[in-house]
Structure 1
Amino acid sequence: MTYAIIETGGKQIRVEPGRFYDIELLHVEPDTKVTIDKVFLVQNDGEVHVGQPFVEGATVEGTVMRHFRGRKIIVYKMLPKKKTRKKRGHRQEQTRFMINSINLNGSVLASDADTTESVPTEVVPEDTAQTAAE
Structure 2
Amino acid sequence: MSYAIVEMGGQQIRVEPGRFYDINYLGVDPDSSYTVDKVLLVNDEEEIRIGQPFIEGAIVEGKILEHRRGRKIIVYKMRPKKKTRKKRGHRQELSRLMITAIKIDDKVIAEDSEGVPVVATEITTPAVKSATEEE
The reply to whether TM is greater than 0.5 is yes
Residue equivalent to 1:18: 18
Q: Deviations over 1:63-99 (max 9, x none)?
A: 0000011110000011111111110000000000000
1:54 aligns with 2:54: yes
Question: Shift of residue 105 of structure 1?
Answer: 1.2
Question: Shift of residue 48 of structure 1?
Answer: 0.6
- The answer as to whether partners of 1:35 and 1:60 remain within 8 angstroms in 2 is yes
Distance 1:73 1:82 in 2: 25
Moved over 4 A (4+): 124-127
Runs (5+) with no aligned partner, structure 2: 129-135
**CA shift in 2, pair 1:68/1:114, >3 Å:** closer
Where 1:113 maps in the other structure, the secondary structure is coil
Greater fraction of residues in helix: 1
Kindly provide the amino acid, as one letter, of the partner of residue 5 in structure 1: I
Q: Deviations over 1:14-70 (max 9, x none)?
A: 000000000010101101001100000000014111011101111000000000111
Question: Shift of residue 12 of structure 1?
Answer: 0.4
Distance 1:107 1:48 in 2: 15
Structure-2-length-normalised TM-score = 0.84
Structure-1-length-normalised TM-score = 0.84
**CA shift in 2, pair 1:33/1:91, >3 Å:** same
Where 1:22 maps in the other structure, the secondary structure is strand
Distance 2:60 2:14 in 1: 11
Residue equivalent to 1:70: 70
Distance 2:78 2:127 in 1: 64
Runs (5+) with no aligned partner, structure 1: 128-134
- The answer as to whether partners of 1:77 and 1:86 remain within 8 angstroms in 2 is yes
- The answer as to whether partners of 2:100 and 2:115 remain within 8 angstroms in 1 is no
Among all aligned residue pairs of Structure 1 and Structure 2, give the percentage whose two residues are the same amino acid. 61
Distance 1:39 1:50 in 2: 9
Computed over aligned residues only, the root mean square deviation of the Cα atoms, in angstroms, reads 2.5
The count of residues paired between Structure 1 and Structure 2 equals 124
Residue equivalent to 2:111: 111
